[in-house]
Chain A
Amino acid sequence: MLEAQRQFILAGERAGQRYGLTVPRTTSANLSGGQLGQRAGSSLEFREHRDYQPGDDLRRIDWNAFARSDKLTVKLYREEISPHVDLLLDGSRSMALAESAKWAASVGLAAALAVAADNAGYVAQAWLIGERCEPVLNGSGKPSAWGELRCDFAGNPGEAFTRVPPRFRRQGMRVLLSDLLWLGDPLVMVQQLAQGASSVVVVQVLAEADIHPPERGRVRLVDSETEEQREIFIDDAALRRYEEALARHQQNWQRACRQAGAVMVSLIAEELVANWNLAALVKADVLKV
């Protein structure tokens, strides 16, 4: 297992060396950190004045200017964000779907993001979501030094994450790597993830079999996480309904991400491990070349 994990990590590291982690434009406001963000924030570097708007921090009002012009204005400073990224890896069994590259892609992608973060001056910390969300052994070090990553959790990762929230570093960047295939309100998970974070990126890693279901006919489906079985007859109509359900599920997550200011990117594991092309993440301003 460790040997296979090492191969995935090495592949990810090689892929991540070309990239640097960037700060997405949709980072949460009113957070301060060690890295200057694109938006106005609480750093000491003055940016501009603007008229007061209800809800603005009263501490940012330029009282001198008010005395001069009898007009409420606020001073805007560059946002200061902490150069830290938490990489959350879904450790449920579905990530290790048989005959799929989902786990290899997820581990490799986590390694690539860790390397890209290091390239951008970030400190990366790897987490594994199982019964609870726990830091990976040597997760702040180089990916090749990470401890064993096990994907044997038979429960709901969303519930596990929200039940015992991990203590992330504030104003850090948080990246969730998962197939997101569990039952629950995505908004709860994303809001929990975004709380105290400078930015949140949700990377959905799906297997080809998740997007295009198995062959037609009488099939007994076995849930890889719960071992629950369901015997159905798959025909064109059933496939169409499945694709529609997948699309609706992804839309729910995207809607939740938009509401929480997070970025969501979907990747196909088999395509990713084939060439380690991270263009989708570059396009989403998560990585830069």
Chain B
Amino acid sequence: MPVFTFPLALLALLAVPALVAIYWLRSRARERRVSSLLLWREERQRWDGGRRLERLQTPLLFFLELLAILLLALAAAGPMLRAGDAGKPLVVVLDDSFSMLAGNEDSVRQRALQAIETELRDNRYESIRLVLAGEAPQLLGEAATQTEQALKLLAQWHCGAPEAKLEDAIAFAFELGGNRARVLVVTDHPPTQDLSDSRLQWWAFGSARQNFALVSATRSRYDNEDRVLLEVANLSPQAGTTTMTLSVGDANDQKRALREPQMLALGARETRRFTLTLPANTSALGVQLSDDALRADNQVVLLPETKPTVRVALRVRDAALRGLLEKALQSLPHVRLTPDKPELIIADDTSESVNAPDAWTLQLLVESDAASYLGPFVLDRAHPLSEGVSLGGVVWGAGKSTGLPGTPVITAGNIPLLTDTDRAGRHELRLRFRSDLSTLQQTPNWPVLWWNLLDWRASVAPGLRQVNLHLGGEAVLTTETGVRDVQVRDPRGAERQLPVQGNTLLLRAELAGVYQLRAGSQQYAFAANALRREESDLSRTTSGRWGNWATATALQWEYRGIAWVLLLLALAVLAVHAWLTARNAGRALAKENA
């Protein structure tokens, strides 16, 4: 049934009886008696002579006028008709977190796929869009107009995200589909609150299961050995046992057990922590729990850290200052003081030539005309060197001039103390410092400052920033100059080539396992582990359907105005009316002339 926006406009239908009255009065004939109809034989009788033409003519005009009035009155009332079923777009929000793989062969994802296929085959939609709900919503392919197209796109739904931000994905889906869209959320847990939008349906296919999971795993270098921290959790309300197996060896090596499999008996919701120490240069450490409802969180791989060492050339003549620098630098990891092929040159004499074209330089300016500054210190917090630096209460001795090349990083009022000049990726730093007038070297800011410098320099050195990532994390690879692309092999063995931009490659770890990278002649590897306690906790997952598209609130979005259609029809009717009138007038004139 149509809905009228302006029902009062239907009063215009009163024109219909007026039209009928006009026609009735106009068509009523006066009676006249004549001597004979003999002389009127030539006149065409209205209802008799030419019956077919005359009977159709006037009533057709009447009905056309009647139809035009009806159409115009209805159009003025602003009718709205419910859009057909085929006119609604569908956006399916897919929970892309790895908890959807729970159940293994009969996984939540598999059941959800079957339900989606049934829905798509049983109903017709104008278009079907798929949105992956991971850490950020992601559109899966283009809009599909056919069910088969949509099912083909669904094959790319892998459920590898460490979490699913469904609220963001739902908001994205509504923006994507518009007001008429229906949104279907497919996940493994119930909605956290009542569905406020009746265009939304929420389907869950999970079921509460017992699950043991590795929820934390780190490996860090410490004093020529690697320390490993592992956390195993029983995320169910019942106690249970699992077996933990440790092995070493990467994909290319033969894996060997590090120790005998260890039986773990964990109480309800208990988390147990394990630490172990590995010799330096031990290859990949594999940790494996016995199979349970969710396999993705039963395995981690921890690769040895391969943070590059920065070669530093220290060319400082001032003995006191040199002593301070050496002490600070030697306290930092991944630093090697060497004059050979330096990557960073720290000098207080700028006259000495620099042979290394890629080396960064830090020029120490020890000026005689100097003063001690108590502040106010202004720091460029966006600069890598200022991270963690706090100069409150610090006395900084430096020259008095306000002019210093480069972009200020730290100033004392208008006196620049530390500046940075970027030479196409090679940085020239200038530090004004008089140790005899300063207390900076006696505060934590001194080693922090040098840590920042060395870490910054190391971050742009070729290699991976981090080798052990959480699933969904972003690996940052710095390549050598001249490398344009990187060959990537993911944990499933699929290879692809990715372009490098500005010596840097950013790669999101969408699958758990070890990624192999080849950049020019160098090879790198990093591991992504599904370590997310919330996702591994299957005790709150359930099945059910929430929301109903057929509610009245939902239908209001599916009404479309049809006034324009009625207006077009009215115009067409009036055009036919005008044509018929003109034709009749022409025929009458022709007859008269004849």
Contact = CB atoms under 8 A, between A and B. Distances in A.
Interface of A: 94, 97-98, 102, 179, 181-183, 207, 209-210, 213-215, 217-226, 228, 230-234, 237-238, 241-242, 245-246, 249
Interface string B214-226: 0000000000000
B39 interface: yes
Given A219-B30, A237-B592, A232 B35 contact: no
B32 interface: yes
Nearest to A97: B35
A218 B35 contact: no
Interface string B392-404: 0000000000000
B591 interface: yes
B48 interface: yes
Contacts of A182: 36, 38
B121 interface: no
Contacts of A102: 35
B33 A181 contact: no
Contacts of A207: 35
23 contacts: A97-B33, A181-B36, A182-B38, A209-B35, A210-B34, A217-B30, A218-B26, A218-B28, A218-B30, A219-B29, A221-B33, A221-B40, A222-B32, A222-B34, A230-B43, A232-B44, A232-B45, A232-B46, A233-B46, A238-B43, A241-B42, A242-B40, A249-B38
A143 B39 CA distance: 33
Size class of B's contact patch? 20 to 34
Nearest to B26: A218
B47 interface: yes
B27 interface: yes
B37 interface: yes
Contacts of B42: 241, 245
What are the 8 closest A-B residue pairs judged by CB atoms, nearest first?
A94-B35, A181-B36, A218-B29, A220-B29, A245-B39, A214-B32, A232-B43, A237-B592
B31 interface: yes
A220 to B, nearest CB: 4
Contact of A222 (B31, B45, B46, B591): B31
Interface of B: 26-48, 588, 591-592
Contact of A231 (B34, B45, B591, B592): B45
Contacts of A242: 39-40, 43
B32 A221 contact: yes
Contacts of A219: 29-32
Given A219-B29, A221-B40, A230 B45 contact: yes
Contacts of B32: 214, 219-222
Contacts of A237: 588, 591-592
Nearest to A244: B42
Nearest to A100: B35
B28 A98 contact: no
A225 B36 CA distance: 7
Contact of B34 (A218, A221, A249): A221
Contacts of B34: 97, 209-210, 213-214, 221-224
Contacts of B29: 217-220, 231
Given A217-B30, A231-B29, A223 B43 contact: no
B54 to A, nearest CB: 10
Contacts of B41: 245
A94 B26 CA distance: 29
A170 to B, nearest CB: 33
A223 B36 contact: yes
A246 B30 contact: no
Nearest to B43: A232
Given A220-B29, A221-B40, A249-B39, 20 more contacts: A94-B36, A179-B35, A181-B39, A182-B36, A218-B28, A219-B31, A221-B33, A223-B33, A223-B34, A224-B34, A230-B45, A232-B43, A233-B46, A237-B588, A237-B592, A238-B43, A241-B42, A242-B39, A242-B43, A249-B38
